[in-house]
Amino acid sequence: MRINKVGVIGAGAMGTGIATLCASAGVPVVLLDMPAASGDRDGLARGAIARALKARPAPLTDPSAANLITPGNTEDHLDRLADCDWIVEAIIEQPGPKQALFSRIEQVARADAIIASNTSSIPMRVLQEGRSADFRAHFLGTHFFNPVRYLHLLEVIPGPDTSPHVVAALRHFAERTLGKGVVIAKDAPGFIANRIGLYGMVRVLRLMEEYQLSIDEVDFLTGPFTGRAKSATFRTSDISGIDILLHVAAGTAAATGEDFTLPDWVHKLVASGRMGEKTGAGFYRKDKTGISTLDWRTLEYQPQAEVKAEELAFLRKAPLGERLKGLTRAGGNRAQFVRHLLTDISLYTLATAPELSPDIISVDRAMEWGYGWEMGPFAQIDAMGIEFLREQVRERGVATPPLLAAAREGCYRQLNSGPRQITLDGEYVPVEPVAGLINLPTLHTTGKVVTDNESAALLDLGDGVLLLEFRAKMNTLGPGVFAALEHAATRIRAGAFEGLVIGNADPRTFSAGADLGAVGARVQAGDWKVIEASIHAFQQGVMNLRRLPFPVVVAPAGLTLGGGCEFLLHADLVQAHMELYAGLVEVGVGLIPGGGGTKELLFRFTRELAPYDEADPFEAVKRAFKLISMATTSTSAADARRLGFLRASDRISMNRDHLLADAKARVLDLAPGYTPPAPATIKALGREAYGNLKYGVWAMQEAGYISAHDVRIGHHIAYVLSGGDGPPRDVTEQDILDLEREAFLSLLGTAETQARIAHMLSTGKPLRN
């Protein structure tokens, strides 16, 4: 059962998100909504596509993918669903309208089409009422999370009669084609993530009142400090809509009989029209004066306050597990709030998990993938300590949840054969691995480390493939990385391995580039000979990626900046995650790309024009200049290909979990008979190109867009890309690398660049000077 075409009914936020994700994956989509009351009857669906093209963050990975979406309406075009393999509804969250729609869909859909609901809480057994046995066998829930492109979780909810083959087919499509992390949920109200997430939200609100904390304090305590998403509690609610929160709470309470009552002041806030981001105000308000925070006692806004929580400062830099353990004994009102909240969520999860999920790992993955938790609730219980939770049960005088009674040594156990999870029977059973995932932490603990240091590790992926893993903060690149690279080269040359993958398991950052802190320290010490030698070594280390006698595949995901982008540019092949944010951003700290990036863009873009006799070679120079001088960063892997950071031959993985396995496969594809590419030569354009670029820089300064130091940086970039200011000449890669290094050193010696570096290191933001 293969899914080649998708039908989506409902062009609201969720329906459009599903449609744009499918289109971004290259799958044709029919998007239907009700006919517009006037004018274009397809206007609602067509307007949703138009809004998606303008939205930020972008729901489409490539604007051209919108051409794969065919808009229509449910009155005139329901028959367009007849050749769709998967049909998903995302209309109003009420059983009646959904059931009526399914009745109509059953009349036009193929007998083998998969039919799904994107409901966030309504059980499948309710939605399938009145449908035929064949329909019920092909029916299930597919609960995406908003924004659909960016949140990894997809809860798949089989109904009472859903065929296992349907579940398997949909899961395979979701994981491999759409890039989702699939969790199978039981057919219970709210499913897994929203049920636990909603309970947590209600408890946060009530405990905030009990402990008399502010919204700013609570968002600090329920954000990254405790391993939650940066948007924490109230910012997340503003994004999703406070009115939606009220609706979901009321519906879940009615379906479960549990108390999900929200405080009166939340109802008053919505009644006053303050529903979050979509109305301009909610728990936060943003205007020209900045961000202000709601005082929940008065429903008035105050300037947003920075929360320092000095009494908890000793925990801030500790790993999350140690932080959570420390919070079980830390003093102060804020620590008591966190302890109370984590205990409530833990006990609720222990009590309800058997109703919601087939196992505890699915609960943890749902909260990690859907809500951005660093650790799921069962992993948090183990981090805090199972005995701490038992003490809390005794102190409260409440019944011990059966799962807590069963977990003698914790929720999980780590064995040599792999991780185990507790069951209600008190047995520890194997954890089902994430499909397609090469688990790097497991490799580290099972004897697969070939060598490691503070900055990098070399791991054996099996089948003759090594992995170079960056390990420094933000995966910055220093001598340890190149030492590990040289070790890999020695082992592969000796015949022990076939090739190399460069990648890591970091969900956000492949590499932020060179270690600016080390560069700044050397500048302050005046070690200019050491600095020049290190830049030369960096250049040669990057160039070695394509000189080595074996294939090197770089597998970037997330931020891939500066030197990280230069690694990408010099690989034999790139296997990129679709969420790739790549760029040569050195001008932000007053430098030019000095690890071969300037050279590589010039050579790459010049070679691309070579087959066209009438092409103007200056276009290649101008294209490279624009990318570097504007510090352009891709918004996706598809965008990186459009910009030129990726080539047509480079590959894209939709699923981050599959990335390293896909890269390993590419190495094995390339290894038989591999030979490195020959050194390249191009014609540098010299004085004329340099003059043209300098004029463009002058025009930008005259218009007031750039500073005098920006002009200096622009002139250096122009000089390198032109091969100097002499006549046109043939240049090797090393010729341009030498110019690149000289320009880098020259700029590094200026007070303005040193100020930019210091400001970036202290604030994390660029300085315009």
pLDDT tens digits, residue range 366-388? 999 999 999 999 999 999 999 99
Predicted confidence (pLDDT) at residue 425 exceeds the cutoff of 90: no
Q: What is the DSSP string of 216-234?
A: HHHHHHTTGGGT--TTTTH
Predicted confidence (pLDDT) at residue 79 exceeds the cutoff of 90: yes
Query: What pLDDT is attached to residue 424?
Result: 84
Percent of the chain with pLDDT over 70: 100
pLDDT band at 391 (very low <50, low <70, confident <90, very high): very high
Closest among 640, 477, 481, 508 to 574, alpha carbons compared? 640
pLDDT band at 11 (very low <50, low <70, confident <90, very high): very high
Side chain identity at residue 459, one-letter code: L
- For residue 177, give every residue at least 6 positions away whose Cβ sits within 8 Å of its Cβ, in sequence order, or none: 3, 25, 27, 654
Q: How many whole angstroms separate alpha carbon 230 and alpha carbon 222?
A: 9
Per-residue tokens: 117: 């609901």
Query: What pLDDT is attached to residue 409?
Result: 86
Region of poorest pLDDT, from 120-124, 604-608, 629-633 = 120-124
Closest among 198, 218, 533, 485 to 366, alpha carbons compared? 198
Q: Provide the 3-class DSSP secondary structure of residue 408.
A: coil
**3-state per-residue secondary structure call for 729-747:** EEEEHHHHHHHHHHHHHHH
pLDDT band at 289 (very low <50, low <70, confident <90, very high): confident
Query: What pLDDT is attached to residue 233?
Result: 97
Per-residue tokens: 647: 């080539």
Q: What is the rounded average pLDDT of the residues 190-205?
A: 97
pLDDT in tens, 117-153: 999 889 999 999 999 999 999 999 999 998 999 999 9
Per-residue tokens: 261: 């009552």
pLDDT in tens, 253-285: 999 999 999 999 999 999 999 999 999 999 999
Number of other residues whose CB lies within 10 A of the CB of residue 69: 25
Predicted confidence (pLDDT) at residue 415 exceeds the cutoff of 90: no
Percent of the chain with pLDDT over 90: 95
pLDDT band at 507 (very low <50, low <70, confident <90, very high): confident
Q: How many whole angstroms separate alpha carbon 721 and alpha carbon 664?
A: 34
Cα distances (angstroms) measured from residue 71 to each of 16, 179, 445, 754 = 11, 24, 51, 53
Rg (CA), the chain: 28
pTM exceeds 0.85 for this model: yes
- For residue 299, give every residue at least 6 positions away whose Cβ sits within 8 Å of its Cβ, in sequence order, or none: 265, 268, 269, 272
Query: What pLDDT is attached to residue 1?
Result: 81
Query: What pLDDT is attached to residue 510?
Result: 98
Predicted confidence (pLDDT) at residue 418 exceeds the cutoff of 90: no
Residue 679: DSSP 8-state: P
